[in-house]
Structure 1
Amino acid sequence: MDKISAVDSVAFGYLNEYDLENNCISLNYVIENLFENMPLLRSVIKTDFGKIGAIILP
């Protein structure tokens, strides 16, 4: 597993099963194959208040 630089806080998001199904993609496929059953660091946003990590939960 790769390490990331330190962040001051994090914001969590999640997958919307409804949106995935409307695009003919199963939630299980995304979790197992794209996320590899792990949370995904989507981005790190630098603000005046520090660095915020955006994490998507499978």
Structure 2
Amino acid sequence: MYHAILPEGQIVCERYDHTDDGLELYDADDNFLAFVPYSNLHALLDEEIYEADDRSVM
């Protein structure tokens, strides 16, 4: 799982695809969740990294 960190929160997704303008996020059933422009994306974190570090990512 991945966490897409945005200015207004985060979106948890199972996988993502890069496009020219941003990321397309998908759930475990391969349903489209959201398109996130690179300009709005603060970070994309693997869940293992996200849970292993107690520091804030914001």
Considering fraction of residues, name the structure with more strand.
Answer: 2
- On whether the aligned pair clears a TM of 0.5, the verdict is no
Give the TM-score taking structure 1 as reference length: 0.22
Kindly indicate which of the two structures has a greater share of residues assigned to helix. 1
**TM-score, length basis structure 2:** 0.22
